[in-house]
Copies of this chain bind each other. A is one copy, B any other.
Amino acid sequence: MKQRAEITLHEIAGRLEGELTGDHGDIVISNVASLKDASAGDISFLAHRRHLKDLQVTNASAVVLPKEISFDGLPAIKVESPYYAFSQLLHMFYDVPYSPKGVDKGAVLGKEVHIGRDVTIYPFVYIEDRVSIGDNVIIYPWTFIGEGSSVGDDSLIYPNVTIRERCCIGRHVIIHSGAVIGSDGFGFVPYKGSHHKVPQVGGVIIEDDVEIGANTTIDRGTLGNTVIRRGTKIDNLVQIAHNVTVGEDCIFAAQVGIAGSTEIGNHVTMAGQAGVTGHVHIGDKVTVAGQTGVTKDVKDGQTVSGMPAIPHREWLRAMAIFEDLPELKRKISELEDKISEIESKSRNQNAK
Contacts and interface: CB of A to CB of B under 8 A. Distances in A.
A198 B329 contact: no
Interface string A163-206: 01110000000101110100110111101011111110100000
A52 interface: no
Nearest to A209: B194
A248 B343 CA distance: 60
A217 interface: yes
B199 A235 contact: no
A275 B249 contact: no
A224 to B, nearest CB: 7
Contact of A343 (B123, B214, B277, B338): B338
A346 interface: yes
Interface string A295-325: 1000000000001101000100111111111
A69 interface: no
Contact of A224 (B37, B193, B201): B37
A195 B249 contact: yes
A241 interface: yes
A323 B338 CA distance: 25
Contact of A199 (B91, B241, B335): B91
A40 interface: no
Listed from nearest, the 10 A-B pairs whose CB atoms lie closest are: A162-B177, A90-B199, A180-B214, A183-B214, A321-B325, A239-B254, A144-B159, A217-B236, A87-B198, A84-B191
24 contacts: A1-B165, A37-B223, A84-B189, A94-B201, A141-B142, A142-B144, A142-B160, A160-B178, A164-B177, A183-B214, A195-B251, A197-B211, A214-B217, A215-B215, A219-B236, A237-B239, A239-B255, A255-B257, A273-B273, A314-B323, A320-B326, A328-B332, A335-B335, A342-B342
